[in-house]
């Protein structure tokens, strides 16, 4: 299968693949934008418990989390033009990227709405009560008190969603988008050096993933400044015994927390979850 | 082109026949992934030199790259490796005799292993140290303590995440079509192309996946109820 | 009899136990007192080998272990001689009260299930929890959990039971029920080492009191003497801080 392995091809493929990086990132950015808007729209009825609409939101989220994104992609690519034809809208000339971004946007929206919902509910009820006690109005309490704290909770999970989205863009080639994976496939079949092409591809994805993660981690650190562990709370703790095992326990707990947030995030990037 | 509702049903019935293929891929990758993940998690928790770094690199690489690239890399490089090794040792085995679905099994297991190792690791770390100490204090050995005290609690703690991993692998199995395995997705493509009714076929496929996902979640909820009996008392 | 000889323990560069020597006679109830960070909990954990001493020798009953060259098998054998009651109870969360007590008997002592069950039920009755056999820890109050913890330790019939601040995680109104149970078993002649801050309990129940500070035993003796006529300045300071009502004795 193919020509013998030659490492120089890997190096050779980097710039060629990188030239299509723009398409990949464009899909990510476009889908995020659509997803953000959709997510807010979908989350609101559930946060405010609007009767019929909140059920619709549930079904929406369940569908997009309960079916593979690849199936969703095909469904929209083939189905949307047909459905829109019924209302005399011709989409057959639309650019294929429109379908990709729309599908991924709707898909990401489902996850976003869950993130928004979870992080808003994660903010302690007492915070809102304290805001009311200071004489704030409902929207003031939300914007000034709840939203900033919710954002801090949301960032790690959001980071995972963005990285999942990046990885999902690799499926766009199935409907003929020439993004990085598609380009790698083309390069592979032209030169017959498939392995080299896919190694180069994997390395680029890995680099972007890591960069995105680092960037979002920085954002998280800034937003969670108020929750950073402080040495003072150690001394304040109940004199539960000897300090030496307090420090051990403390490091352990911090480590645990970090891992927890990371996996709590990955939980949602797994595409799973039809739960209503 | 008109939407043909009756064809959705027709496609649905045809797709039912390949559900076992999809479930098989999911089951194999989840099972093998669990074993790989457990090994990687334990190596990392006990911080075994070299192995723990290797495990971290593996998890980072897999989680940082699309599942599709894992499949493609395995599909193209495994035969080369296998043939080279067989030639070296003079074995008669030819890579061409590996069935297509074998590539899906191997690649998806590797993918699942990385995700599961994180799930298992966080589950194990969620069990407080005191539990193992208590096991020691009643005279248990480390293996006894792990098996009887830590693992059951870790499993209960990571059940929701494990269920999500299973669903992730179920959805990921749709990639198998790239190596010509006929799963639900590939079958939908075939049914769609022969009748030129794409939308209907994929609608049927989506319905099946939705149903399967729902089923997994219901099963998890049942299991969680049984396994988490001990947490019903509220906070303590 | 328990004999600790030259027990030393460091965490990194921080030496927590500096060559401790302590002898506990059979049937004695020993309380260890001392400020936070004095090393008293670490010493107790060393006896159960939850912390590995860097050096020294631990002898419990007829079994003795040199800590420098302890093999896994030896540690296991030593652990069977003692049982621990933890500050945070550490009941097995996924097991009922009864199963918690039975676990060690069935798995470690290899008792037949029926016998283990009968013994565990009797012990839970003794600590006043006959009605809570099938309750999970999450369904019990702190005081009840700690009493299960005591029953679990008693079930193993160890040479010594180690109590690591058994009441300091409890709400004040629950302290009494746990202390009552410890008092009861102390009267039965079971050897106990108790790390505690409960001074009145220490005075009533213990036959020997040890004061630790800075990783060494500063002073030890009969409780009445240690409390009423401490010889060392450090002991006096500590007692003054912790029991202001004792001021007039000094």
The residue extents of the domains of chain A are: 7-229
Please report where in the chains the tokens 């994660």 appear, as a residue.
A122
A166 Cα to chain B: minimum distance (Å): 8
Chain A to chain B, count of Cβ pairs less than 8 Å apart? 167
pLDDT tens-digit series, residues B159-175: 989 999 999 999 999 99
Of C11, C14, C87, the CB nearest to A241: C87
- The more confidently predicted of residues B24 and A9 is B24
Phi and psi of C209, rounded to 5°? -125, 140
For residue A242, the chain C residue with the least C-alpha distance is C37
Distance, in angstroms, between A94 CA and closest chain B CA? 17
Whether C140 has its CB under 8 Å from any CB of chain B: the answer is yes
CA distance B70 to B216: 25
Residue B73: phi and psi, rounded to 5, are -60, -45
Closest Cα of chain C to A3: distance in Å?
Answer: 55
Cβ(C92)–Cβ(B134) below 8 Å: yes
CA A179 – CA A167 distance, rounded (Å): 12
Cα–Cα distance, C219 to C216 (Å, whole number)? 9
Per the CB < 8 A criterion, the answer to whether C40 and C16 are in contact is no
- Report the pLDDT value the prediction gives residue A265, as an integer from 0 to 100: 36
Calpha distance C81→C77 (Å, rounded)? 7
Nearest to C165 among A241, A244, A247 (CB): A241
B131 CB neighbours in chain C (<8 A) are 90, 92-93
**Which residues, 6 or more positions from A6, have their beta carbon under 8 angstroms from its beta carbon?**
A193, A196
Quote the minimal CA–CA distance from C212 to chain B in Å.
24
Q: What is the pLDDT of residue C143?
A: 92
Q: How confident is the model at residue C245 (pLDDT cuts 50, 70, 90)?
A: low
Q: Which sign does the torsion angle of CA B15, B17, B21, B23 carry?
A: positive
Subunit contact C11:A241, Cβ cutoff 8 A = no
Cβ pair A69:B171 closer than 8 A: yes
Segment of B27-31, B192-196, C168-172 carrying the highest mean pLDDT: B27-31
**Cβ–Cβ gap C168/A240 under 8 Å:** yes
Spatial distance between the Cα atoms of A55 and A162, rounded to a whole number of angstroms: 26
Task: Give C76-116 pLDDT, tens digit per residue.
Answer: 888 889 999 999 999 999 999 999 999 999 999 999 999 99
Cα C97 → chain centroid: 20
pLDDT tens digit string along C33-74? Answer: 998 888 999 999 999 999 999 999 999 988 888 888 888 888
Which residues of C fall within a CB distance of 8 Å from B133? Answer: 50, 84, 86, 90
For an interface test with C, give the residue of B136, B139, B155, B235 to mutate (most C CBs within 10 A): B139
Q: Please indicate if any CB of chain B lies within 8 Å of the CB of C106.
A: no
Say yes or no to pLDDT of B64 above 90: yes
Q: How far apart are CA C172 and CA C143, in angstroms?
A: 10
Written as six digits, the tokens of C94 are 């996924």
Q: What per-residue confidence (pLDDT) applies to B234?
A: 43
User: What's the CA gap between A226 and A222, in Å, rounded?
Assistant: 9
Residue appearing with tokens 């008669």: B92
Closest Cα in chain B, distance from residue A193 (Å): 9
Query: What value does the mean pLDDT of chain C take?
Result: 89
Q: Which residues pair with C82 in a beta bridge?
A: C160
Q: How far apart are CA A110 and CA A273, in angstroms?
A: 11
Length of chain C: 250
Question: What's CA B136's distance to the chain center, in Å?
Answer: 34
Are A244 and C16 within 8 A, CB to CB? yes
| Each residue's pLDDT tens digit, A131-162 | 888 888 878 888 888 888 888 888 888 888 99
Q: State the SS3 of chain A.
A: CCCCCCHHHHHHHHHHHHCCHHHHHHHHHHHHHHHHHHHHHHHHHHHCCCHHHHHHHHHHHHHHHHCCHHHHHHHHHHHHHHHHHHCCCCCCCCCHHHHHHHHHHHHHHHHHHHHHHHHHHHCCHHHHHHHHHCCCCHHHHHHHHHHHHHHHHHHHHHHHHHHHHHHHHHHHHHHCCCCHHHHHHHHHHHHCCHHHHHHHHHHHHHHHHHHHHHHHHHHHHHHCHHHCCCCHHHHHCCCCCCHHHHHHHHHHHHHHHHHHHHHHHHHHHCCCCCCC
Residues of chain B contacting C152 with CB distance shorter than 8 Å: 138
d(CA A175, CA A79): 13
What does pLDDT average to over chain B? 89
Q: Which of A236, A243, A244 to mutate against chain C (most C CBs within 10 Å)?
A: A244
Q: Check residue B60 and give its pLDDT.
A: 93
For residue C169, list chain A residues with Cβ-Cβ distance below 8 A: 238, 240
CB pairs under 8 A between B and C: 87
Q: Would you call C36 and A245 a contact, using CB atoms and an 8 Å cutoff?
A: no
Model confidence pLDDT, tens digit, residues C177-204: 999 999 988 888 899 999 988 888 888 8
Closest CA to C34 of C165, C211, C222: C211
Is C145 in CB contact (< 8 Å) with chain B? yes
Nearest to C38 among A238, A242, A247 (CB): A242
Token pair in block for residue A142: 């939300």
pLDDT over 50 (residue C137) = yes
Indicate whether A93 pLDDT > 80: no
Domain ranges of chain B: 20-181
Alpha-carbon torsion B194, B196, B202, B205, what sign? negative
Distance (Å, rounded) from C-alpha B20 to C-alpha B26?
10
CA dihedral A137, A139, A141, A146 (to 10 degrees): 170
Nearest by CB to B130, which of C90, C107, C156?
C90
Query: pLDDT tens-digit profile of A234-267?
Result: 333 333 333 334 333 333 333 334 433 333 333 3
B95 pLDDT band, cuts 50/70/90, is: confident
Nearest-by-CA chain B residue for A270: B168
Q: What angle do CA C125, B233, C171 make, to 5 degrees?
A: 70
Chain B residues in contact with C153 by the CB 8 A cut-off are 137-138
C-beta atoms of C87 and A240 within 8 A: yes
How far apart are alpha carbons C75 and C88 in whole angstroms? 23
Is the four-CA dihedral A76, A81, A86, A89 of positive or negative sign? Answer: positive
Residues B79, A1: C-beta atoms closer than 8 Å: yes
Q: Which of residues 132-151 of B touch C (CB under 8 A)?
A: 133-141, 144, 148-149
Contact indicator for C149, C95 with CB cutoff of 8 Å: no
Q: What is the pLDDT of residue B25?
A: 95
User: Which of A242, A246, A248 should one mutate to test binding to chain C, selecting the residue with the greatest count of C CBs within 10 A?
Assistant: A242
Query: Contact A106/A63 with Cβ under 8 angstroms?
Result: no
Residue C152, chain B, CB below 8 Å: the answer is yes
**Second-level CATH architecture of A7-229:** Orthogonal Bundle (1.10)
Per-residue pLDDT at A175 exceeds 50? yes
Q: For C80, which of B139, B230, B234 is closest by C-beta distance? A: B139
Res. A231: pLDDT tops 50? no
Residue with the larger pLDDT of the pair B182 and A231: B182
**Spatial distance between the Cα atoms of B77 and B80, rounded to a whole number of angstroms:** 5
Residue A268 pLDDT > 90, yes or no? no
Give the CA distances from residue B67 to residues B24, B77, B114, C47, in Å, rounded to whole numbers and listed in that order: 18, 15, 11, 51
Q: Which CATH superfamily is domain B20-181 in?
A: MetI-like (1.10.3720.10)
C chain contacts of residue A241, beta-carbon cutoff 8 Å: 36, 40-41, 87, 164-165, 195
Which 3 state secondary structure label does DSSP give A68?
Answer: coil
Residue of C138, C145, C163, C165 to mutate for B, most B C-beta atoms under 10 A: C138
* Strand (E) or helix (H) holding C160: strand C160-164
Query: Does position B206 have pLDDT exceeding 70, yes or no?
Result: yes
| Mean pLDDT confidence for B129-156 | 91
Which residues on chain B are in Cβ contact (under 8 Å) with C142? 236
- B141 chain-C contacts, CB cut-off 8 A: 72, 76
pLDDT of A270 reads 39
Of C169, C176, C192, the C-alpha closest to C91 is C169
Give dist(CA A144, CA A134) in Å, integer.
12
Q: Which chain C residue has the Cα nearest residue B156? A: C94
User: Between residues 46 and 75 of chain B, which touch chain A (CB distance below 8 Å)?
Assistant: 60-61, 63-69, 72-73
Q: Is B231 on the interface with C (CB under 8 A)?
A: yes
Distance from C-alpha of C103 to C-alpha of A73, rounded to nearest angstrom = 54
CB contact under 8 A, C48 and B236: no
Q: Are strands C14-24 and C2-11 parallel, antiparallel or unpaired?
A: antiparallel
Helices (H), chain B: 5-16, 19-45, 51-64, 67-89, 100-126, 129-137, 142-145, 151-172, 184-195, 198-227
Task: Let me know: does B188 contact B204? Beta carbons within 8 Å.
Answer: yes
The predicted pLDDT at position B232 comes to 55
Chain A positions touching chain C (beta carbons under 8 Å): 238-245, 247-248
Residues of chain C contacting B140 with CB distance shorter than 8 Å: 104, 107-108
- B153 and C94 in contact by Cβ < 8 A? yes
Tell if the CB–CB gap between B136 and C50 is shorter than 8 Å.
yes
Please indicate, yes or no, whether the overall pTM of this predicted structure exceeds 0.90: no
Residues of chain B with Cβ-Cβ distance to C47 below 8 Å are none
If you search the block for the tokens 């019939």, which residue do you land on?
A: C157
How much is the CA Rg of chain A, to the nearest whole Å?
23
Q: From CA A117, how far away is CA A110, in angstroms rounded?
A: 11
Instruction: Identify which of C193, C188, C185 has the alpha carbon closest to the alpha carbon of residue C160.
Output: C193
Residue C204 has a pLDDT of 84
């Amino acid at each position: 299968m193919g020509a013998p392995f030659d490492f120089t091809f890997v190096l050779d493929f980097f710039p060629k693949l990188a030239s299509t990086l723009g398409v990949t990132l464009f899909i990510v950015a476009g889908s995020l934008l659509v997803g953000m808007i959709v997510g807010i729209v979908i989350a609101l009825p559930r946060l405010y418990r609007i009767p019929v609409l909140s059920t619709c939101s549930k079904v929406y989220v369940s569908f997009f989390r309960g079916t593979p994104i690849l199936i969703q992609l095909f469904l929209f690519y083939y189905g949307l033009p047909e459905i829109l034809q019924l209302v005399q809208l011709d989409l057959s000339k639309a650019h294929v990227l429109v379908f990709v971004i729309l599908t991924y946007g709707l898909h990401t929206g489902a996850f976003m709405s869950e993130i928004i919902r979870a992080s808003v509910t994660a903010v302690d009820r007492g915070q809102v009560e304290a805001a009311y006690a200071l004489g704030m109005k409902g929207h003031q309490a939300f914007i000034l008190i709840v939203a900033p704290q919710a954002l801090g909770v949301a960032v790690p999970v959001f980071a995972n969603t963005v990285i999942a989205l990046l990885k999902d863009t690799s499926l766009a080639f199935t409907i003929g988008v020439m993004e990085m994976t598609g380009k790698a496939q083309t390069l592979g079949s032209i030169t017959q050096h498939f392995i080299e092409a896919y190694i180069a591809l994997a390395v680029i994805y890995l680099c972007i993933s890591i960069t995105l993660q680092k960037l979002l981690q920085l954002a998280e650190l800034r937003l969670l400044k108020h929750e950073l562990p402080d040495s003072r709370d150690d001394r304040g703790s109940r004199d539960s015994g000897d300090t030496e095992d307090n420090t051990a326990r403390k490091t352990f707990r911090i480590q645990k927390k970090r891992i927890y947030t990371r996996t709590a995030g990955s939980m949602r990037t797994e595409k799973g979850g039809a739960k209503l | 082109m008109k939407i043909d509702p009756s064809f959705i049903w027709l496609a649905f019935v045809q797709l039912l026949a390949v559900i076992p293929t999809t479930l098989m891929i999911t089951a194999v990758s989840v099972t093998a992934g669990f074993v790989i993940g457990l090994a990687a998690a334990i190596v990392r928790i006990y911080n075994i030199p070299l192995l723990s770094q290797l495990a971290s690199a593996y998890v980072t690489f897999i989680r940082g790259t699309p599942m599709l690239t894992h499949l493609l890399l395995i599909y193209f490089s495994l035969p080369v490796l296998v043939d080279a090794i067989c030639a070296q040792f003079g074995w008669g085995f030819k890579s061409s005799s590996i069935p297509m679905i074998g590539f899906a099994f191997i690649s998806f297991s590797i993918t699942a292993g990385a995700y599961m190792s994180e799930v298992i690791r966080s589950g194990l770390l969620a069990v407080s140290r005191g539990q193992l100490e208590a096991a020691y204090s009643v005279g248990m050995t480390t293996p006894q303590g792990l098996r009887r005290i830590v693992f059951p609690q870790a499993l209960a703690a990571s059940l929701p995440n494990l269920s999500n991993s299973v669903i992730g692998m179920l959805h990921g199995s749709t990639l198998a079509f790239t190596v010509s395995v006929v799963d639900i997705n590939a079958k939908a493509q075939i049914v769609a192309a022969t009748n030129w009714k794409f939308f209907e076929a994929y609608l049927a496929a989506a319905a099946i996946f939705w149903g399967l996902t729902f089923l997994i979640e219901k099963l998890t909820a049942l299991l969680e109820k049984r396994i988490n009996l001990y947490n019903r008392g509220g906070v303590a | 009899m328990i004999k600790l000889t030259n027990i030393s323990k460091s965490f990194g560069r921080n030496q927590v136990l500096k060559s401790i020597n302590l002898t506990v006679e059979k049937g004695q109830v020993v309380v260890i007192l001392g400020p936070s960070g004095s090393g008293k909990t670490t010493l107790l954990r060393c006896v159960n080998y939850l912390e590995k001493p860097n050096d020294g020798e631990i002898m419990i009953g007829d079994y003795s272990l040199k800590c420098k060259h302890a093999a896994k098998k030896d540690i296991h054998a030593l652990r069977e001689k003692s049982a621990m009651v933890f500050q945070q109870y550490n009941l097995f969360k996924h097991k009922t009260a009864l199963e918690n007590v039975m676990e060690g008997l069935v798995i470690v002592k290899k008792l037949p299930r029926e016998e283990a069950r009968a013994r565990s039920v009797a012990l839970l009755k003794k600590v006043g929890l006959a009605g809570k056999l099938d309750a999970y820890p999450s369904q019990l109050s702190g005081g009840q959990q700690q009493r299960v913890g005591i029953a679990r330790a008693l079930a193993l019939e160890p040479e010594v039971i180690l109590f690591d601040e058994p009441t300091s995680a409890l709400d004040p109104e629950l302290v009494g029920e746990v202390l009552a149970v410890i008092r009861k078993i102390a009267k039965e002649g079971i050897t106990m080492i108790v790390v505690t801050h409960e001074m009145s309990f220490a005075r009533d129940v213990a036959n020997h009191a040890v004061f630790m500070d800075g990783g060494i035993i500063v002073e030890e003796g009969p409780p009445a003497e240690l409390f009423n006529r401490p010889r060392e300045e450090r002991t006096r300071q500590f007692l003054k801080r912790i029991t202001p009502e004792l001021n007039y004795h000094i």
